[in-house]
Amino acid sequence: MPVRLRLRAPWLTFVSKSGERSKNVEIVVKGNVIPMRTFLLITIILGSSHALAVCAFNIEVGDGLTFSMKEMNISNDCEEITVTLKHTGNLGKSVMGHNWVLSRASDVAELAQKGIAAGLDNDYLPADDQRIIAATKIIGSGEETNISFDPSILSSNEKYIYFCSFPGHSFVMKGTLSVI
Ligand SMILES: [Cu+2]
């Protein structure tokens, strides 16, 4: 179905090929007839990415070793970043528990290693370790948890990784976090 984009610009005069002058022009594109005012509004919204900074993230986990989000872009315009983790799988936390842990890329391996020793009672994370920037508790089937942190503690020059510290998961269950 052909769709038209109608542009009304009173400050312009459009001249057709046949020499006809008009204050309106219709552009046939895919979509609906969009008034100029709506068109400009969309343009303004798309152009102001900073005003649309995403400060809250919803990430799902299940019975596999994946986060529903593989990459996060964090804006320093946010006063606080909130990550909500939801377990949509069927397995309990002792079998297929997951958490969301943020650290510098270079700290992941050692934190995951020390996490195994810490055990489930400590959410598979070493206590009071300064290398943990933010972390949720371990959750299982049907559970949900969240964590908030101040993005100003992150640097745009650093590489950050979020991972799951459940034993064996961190090798594949991870994503990259960047400051934009
Ligand atoms: Cu996991």
pLDDT in tens, 147-157: 999 999 999 99
Q: Closest Cα partner for 96 from 53, 139, 48?
A: 139
Return d(Cα 146, Cα 55) in angstroms, integer.
13
CA of residue 57 relative to chain centroid, distance: 5
Beta carbons of 129 and 107 less than 8 angstroms apart: no
Q: Look up the pTM and report it.
A: 0.73
Alpha helices in 57-178 (DSSP H): 93-96, 108-118
Residue ranges near ligand 1 (ion) with Cβ within 5 Å: 98, 164, 166, 169, 173
Taken as a whole, the chain contains a residue count of 180
Rg of the chain in Å (alpha carbons):
24
- In the reported structure, the alpha carbon of residue 152 is separated from the centroid of ligand 1 by a whole-number distance in angstroms of 27
- In the reported structure, the alpha carbon of residue 151 is separated from the centroid of ligand 1 by a whole-number distance in angstroms of 24
- In the reported structure, the alpha carbon of residue 144 is separated from the centroid of ligand 1 by a whole-number distance in angstroms of 14
Retrieve residue 81's tokens: 């970043």
Domains of the chain (ranges; CATH) run 3-47 (no CATH), 51-179 (2.60.40.420)
pLDDT digits (tens, 9 = 90+) for 52-68: 789 999 999 999 999 99
